[in-house]
Structure 1
Amino acid sequence: MVKYKWFSLGDVSSSATIVFDNLTNMAIIAFLLTKVFGMPVDIVLRHIIPGLSVGIVAGNIIFIYFAFRLAKKLGRDNVTAFPYGLDAPSCIGLTLSVVGPSFLLFKSQGMTPDTAAITSWYVSCACTFFIGFVKFVFSFFAHKIKHALPTVALLGGLAGVAVGLIAFFPLLSMLELPLVSFMVLAIIVMVYFAGYQMPANLPAILVAIVIGTIAYYIFQIFLTGNANLPSASNIQLSLPTLAFGLFGQFGLAAKYFSIALPFALLVIFGTVSVAESAKVLGEEYSPKDLLMVDGIATMLIGLFGGTAQTTPYAGFPAYKKMDARSGYLIINIILIGFGAWFGFVNYIIDLVPDAILAPVLMFIGIEIAMQVFIVCDKKYYPAAIIGLFPSIARMLEIKLSSNPDLVSMSKLNEILYTVNNGKLSDVAGIVTFGNGFIITGTLLAAIVYYLIERRIVAAVVTCIIMALSSLFGIIHSVNLDGSMYWVGNLPKSQQIIPYEIAGGYLLFAVVAVLLWAYNRGKPINLHH
């Protein structure tokens, strides 16, 4: 019987990659919440970060078990454990669309910053738990769900999040301190987009962050006479604690489920794909098992105060090429788990300035947005591009509603519900198009895809789904907080907005059917 060699030299380099990925995601969450949204540091570093580590540790332990089980089944000693960690799109997307905006909303409703932070934290934990539950349920149908939506629709909606939120907000932070942020951006662009190499093949992002951080503190010395290094006070025990308060906030959280659901679906579809990439290399992991464990781990994150999901990583071939076994996941458990619980992760997050992380975020946003154009055929580009716009509207909505010096909430509400001769205001367009932005972007991209493919029934059904969804506020909610409703329960003055939007989708379907009928049997002529 062959004995599984669970550790190799390849685990050392592999651990550096996966630990850095998880640290970066944690740092991004902390940066966005504390610097962009002004959330109290204590909630973020003492509760959210340790809570995230619970899912990483739990998932890694089970994935190590899967590797030992597969090695025994195959009779091989070099099986690679499946890489697993925090999901970058949801770390950024949920932070920018649920955690941060809900915090600002509760503050605008009169809550103190601390009360608003705790309430938004519980709401976000409930959303994370919901995501985990969805993944767990869908794990039983893993082999049947791959073709439920076209790839361009899923990636198009996500590309919108990448451009409108993930890349744009960090750009604003970069412009606050371009002296150092542009140095970091130069390294990233040169290596990852222009194909240049780093000396000794050093990891470009790590080098960029180190150089940028050193430059930042040198500039601090020149400008203020002091480096102003962060205090080591964060290096203290911060064990994860159960966030039972989430169960009392499911009512408030429900209106954010339409935002959270697409992130769950992306991991569900993605897990099926990444499992296939391992199978091609001779190591067959069950998508059902991977997804089930991931769902449980994500629910644990929600229970212990985390606000983002985990995912099986897409880089299995790279880890296999490095000859990783299970050791790299063990190192990940030790450094991320214990590092978060004893405050070392928090200190690193404090040490790296906002302007240094911002170019990394911008790079991640560009990389995510590029995927739809890499994976999909050129003829589907219109579908991909139309999926961008709801997220851009959401970005504008966040900037409008979070800046009372620019426009007060009362004035914003007044403009929002103003309708002149059936014509909606610009603010109404921004708010309604931005609410439910991920679902809207995904379904709009799907409609264009179906029309390009001459699948008229699927296009019409999607239009009807969008029309009905707009009447319930699932998408295009007229409320600034994006909450759902039945249109008949809205004040009379507000009902015209969802009725007009729903009518627009239905008329879209009618026109599509008429043109489809006219063109039946005629040659296809795509103008691109």
Structure 2
Amino acid sequence: MNYFSITRGDIDGFFGLMVDNLIQLLVLTGLCIGLCGFPLEFVTSVVLPGAAISLLIGNLFYSWQAYQLGKKTNRTDVTALPYGINTVSLFAFIFFVMLPVYQATGDYKSAWKAGLLVSFSSGLIEFFGSFFAEKIRKSTPRAALLSALAGIAITFISMDFLLRTFEHPLVAFVPLGVILLQYFGKVKFPFGIPGGLVSIILGIILAYVSGLLGEPIFQEGAFARGKETIGFYLPHLAVVELWEVLSFANVKTYFAIILPMGVFNVIGSLQNIESAEASGDSFDTKSSLLVNGIGTLAGTFFGSPFPTTIYIGHPGWKGLGAKHGYSVLNGIFITFVSVFGLMGILQAIIPIEAGMAIVLWIGIIIASQAFQASPKNHSPAVVAGLLPAFAGWAALIIQNVFFFLDGRLQAILLELETPKSYHFNLSDLSPHVPFLPYALGGVLSLSQGFLLTSMIWAAMVVFLLERDFLKSSLWALIGTTLSFFGFIHAYELAGNAILNRFAFFVSWQFPVAYLALAFLFFLTYLINRYSPDKKS
């Protein structure tokens, strides 16, 4: 198979991954401008070209990697690992680092430099994490690795886009139906037109028609604003700006964000590599994670404060029939759009509602894979591993609601020209009172480090199902260690920000509880081992 060949499945995969990447870039553009004071020109000329550099490096490498695997195994159905901006880090870095700096200084460049610092640090963790990640993958049950991804797929991917689908049914239902027809119903469209292309075209048409029916999707004047950003923007080397803020004191200030996000990226990428292997494509862990870190570092050097990652969704793209060409097309397209300042025009032409059907389908496939690729008797472990992601999603919703309410309060106070300062802060609530109607403390504790928590509990359940009580005890000890250092369950509230509280024994109940759990499982192991009838 020729490296430059493009298949029909690659075209479908390209439209899906392109829409996914565009959504991330549109979201970061809106947040940078709306929350951190970035001028549109700065985002267009500095941030987006820098992000394009990282995306191009990763997409080309993972495409080449898939091509080489196909040659080595004499296969033509190898699908490249998907790659893009890390969604969780995107929100974390904006809300917990860049926004507070902008609020404190009023200087968007200071906020941007702080973003460069945490992105660079996260990239280093990704880079060095590649040297020992394979050992983690081999010692962790598949159900534990895949269930965490399934939880993210159900919550952060499927639910978000499903809610938008039902918010705008006139626009979103038919494109979703097209995707379901092709990929679930195996229906082929006339002239071999890819379902992804049909879905987006119909979505654009329906978006315009919905405006005539009283449900406008497009923002007024968006096309005119988009035309203003068209130009030619070479990537801006930001090494000097990064060096200005690269100090031990600054790293220490944001360490509670840097460390969990870096570990999150490594573990998440590791889980996605396992997901690819479960789909039949076995990629080298070390080189995959190494280039993942290089992509983040390269983007940071050229002005992007947002880490990249191996994307969730490989089984979905494989289900589309995508091979290695879709990754090349995506990298070239995103680079072209960013270098020529076309993001504003695309935002005006293609509403998110027109393209999100493909992403929603990807989320469904990922969640399904966790059950299909794990041993049948491990399905309870998969369910156990899903649950922490729901807490992570709930915490994000709670936080966003409070940010919104506080913003509305500040707007009202500004209109009233009141000299008094009031804030609607999440930190003003006691975390141990009933809250909608669950205990807020439980939601926040479970949400912190939920990827790691998911792995721990799913692995414990796997080994309990296998009656390997010693290994269950060892995984409980891992929970003891991680909670002792604050990697999981430890949090603090600062205004409306939910921060990981990285400190020794800061939330003492959890290490003690995990230790008690480890003792219980170990005691069961001893009783089971030395009992005359070998029964526990």
- Fold-level similarity (TM above 0.5): yes
CA distance in 2, matches of 1:360, 1:455: 41
Cα distance between partner residues in 1 of 2:180 and 2:528: 46
Letter aligned with residue 94 of structure 1: S
Q: 1:184 aligns with which of 175, 178, 182?
A: 175
Provide the alpha-carbon RMSD of the alignment.
4.5
* Whole-Å separation in 2 of the counterparts to 1:276 and 1:183: 31
The answer as to 2:219 corresponding to 1:219 is no
Please give the alpha-carbon distance, in whole angstroms, between the structure 2 residues aligned to 1:446 and 1:68: 33
Give 3-state SS (helix, strand or coil) of 1:402's partner. helix
Distance 1:213 1:194 in 2: 23
Say if 2:158 is the partner of 1:167.
yes
Structure 1 equivalent of residue 391 of structure 2? 393
What residue is the counterpart of 1:133 in the other structure? 124
Which SS does the other structure have where 1:230 is aligned? helix
Q: Which residue of 2 aligns with 1:255?
A: 256
Give the match for residue 24 of structure 1. 19
Q: Is the CA contact (8 Å cut-off) linking 1:23 and 1:345 kept in structure 2?
A: no
Describe the SS at the equivalent of 1:223: coil
- Secondary structure, aligned partner of 1:479: strand
Q: Does the C-alpha gap of structure 1 residues 24 and 277 become closer, same or farther in structure 2, counting only changes over 3 Å?
A: same
- Counterparts of 1:111 and 1:103, CA distance in 2: 11
CA distance in structure 1 between the aligned counterparts of 2:475 and 2:293, rounded to whole angstroms: 28
- Write the letter of the residue equivalent to 1:457: L
Aligned partner letter, 1:337 = T
Alignment of 1:21-60 (within 5 A): 21-33=16-28, 39=35, 42=40, 45-59=44-58
Hey, what's the Cα distance between the residues in 1 that align with 2:50 and 2:521? 48
Q: How does 1:311-350 map to 2 (within 5 A)?
A: 311=310, 334-350=332-348
Of 389, 401, 412 in structure 1, the residue corresponding to residue 426 of structure 2 is 412
CA contact (8 A) 1:259 1:437 kept: no
Alpha carbons 1:238, 1:343 under 8 Å: kept: yes
d(CA) in 1 for partners of 2:366, 2:251: 30
**Change beyond 3 A, Cα 1:456–1:345:** same
Q: CA deviation at 1:309?
A: 2.1
1:430 aligns with 2:443: yes
Q: Provide Cα deviations, 1:36-69, integer angstroms capped at 9, x if missing partner.
A: 8955683655444322321233346667888999
- Secondary structure (helix, strand or coil) at the match of 1:387 reads helix
1:168-206, Cα deviation, whole Å (9 max, x unpaired): 223333333222122222222333334433333432222
Read off the aligned partner of 1:506 and give its amino acid letter.
L
Match for 1:230 among 223, 232, 256?
A: 223
Contact kept in structure 2, 1:151 and 1:376, CA below 8 Å: yes
- Contact kept, 8 Å, 1:64 with 1:329, in 2: the verdict is yes
Q: Which moved more, 1:221-230 or 1:384-393?
A: 221-230
1:41–1:428 distance in 2 versus 1, CA, 3 Å = farther
Identity over the aligned pairs, expressed in percent? 25
Shift of residue 409, structure 1, vs aligned partner: 7.0
Unaligned runs of 5+ in 1: 489-494
CA contact (8 A) 2:405 2:424 kept: no
2:308 — aligned with what?
Answer: 309
- CA 34–287 in structure 1, closer or farther in 2 if over 3 Å, else same: closer
| Distance change >3 Å, CA 21–CA 523, structure 1 → 2 | farther
Counterparts of 1:333 and 1:411 in 2: how far apart (Å)?
41
Indicate which of 520, 527, 532 corresponds to 1:511.
520
- Shift, 1:291, TM fit: 4.6
Residue identity matched to 1:56: L
Name the structure 2 match of 1:356. Answer: 354
Q: 1:323 to 1:144 in 2, by over 3 A?
A: closer
Q: Per-residue displacement from partner, 1:94-146 (whole Å, max 9, x unpaired)?
A: 335x2454379638x9458874x963x55655555445434443555576554
Q: Which residue matches 1:491?
A: none
User: Which deviates the most, 506-515 or 379-388?
Assistant: 506-515
Which is worse superposed, 31-40 or 293-302? 31-40
**Contact in 1 for aligned 2:154/2:364 (Cα 8 Å):** yes
What is the aligned partner in structure 1 of residue 139 from structure 2? 148
Distance 1:456 1:186, change over 3 A: same
Choose which of 454, 457, 462 in structure 1 pairs with 2:467.
Answer: 454
Counterpart Cα distance in 1 of 2:477 and 2:306: 33
CA distance in 2, matches of 1:401, 1:293: 33
Matched residues, number: 494
The AA in structure 2 aligned to 1:342 is: F
In 1, the alpha carbon distance for the partners of 2:371 and 2:457 equals 17
Tell me, in whole angstroms, the C-alpha distance in 2 between the residues paired with 1:450 and 1:111: 49
Deviation at 1:300?
A: 0.8
TM-score, length-scaled by structure 2: 0.75
2:502 corresponds, among 479, 485, 502, to 485
Pair 1:445-2:434 in alignment = no
Question: Which residue of 1 is the match for residue 83 of structure 2?
Answer: 87
State the AA in 2 paired with 1:258.
P
**Cα distance, 1:158 vs structure 2:** 1.6
